[in-house]
Amino acid sequence: MNLKNTVLARAGLALVMAAALASCGGGGSKYTIGGVVYGLQYGPLVLTTNGMEASVQPNPANTAAEVKEVTYAFPEKLEYGDVYDVIIKQVTDASGNVTIQQPPHQICGPASNSRTSDTAGRLSVISADFVCQLVAPTIGGKVKGLGAGTLVLNNGSDSLVSIPAPTPAATPPADIAYVFPVAVTYGKTYGVTVQTNPAGYTCTVANATGTMRDDPVSNIDVTCVANPT
pTM of the model: 0.79
SS3 at position 190: strand
Domain ranges within the chain, ordered by starting residue: 27-134, 140-226
The pLDDT assigned to 154 comes to: 97
Question: What is the C-alpha radius of gyration for the chain, rounded to an integer number of angstroms?
Answer: 30
Query: Cα dist. 196→42, 134, 147, 151, 221 in Å?
Result: 39, 32, 15, 6, 16
Residue 146, pLDDT > 50, answer yes
The separation between CA 194 and the C-alpha centre of its own chain, rounded to angstroms, equals 32
Distance CA 217, CA 191 (A): 12
The pLDDT assigned to 213 comes to: 97
The pLDDT assigned to 5 comes to: 46
Mean pLDDT for the stretch of residues 180-188: 97
For 26-77, what is each residue's pLDDT tens digit? 456 899 999 999 999 999 999 999 999 999 999 999 999 999 999 999 999 9
Average pLDDT, the chain: 89
DSSP label at 73? E
Within 10 Å of residue 195's Cβ, how many Cβ atoms? 13
SS3 at position 54: strand
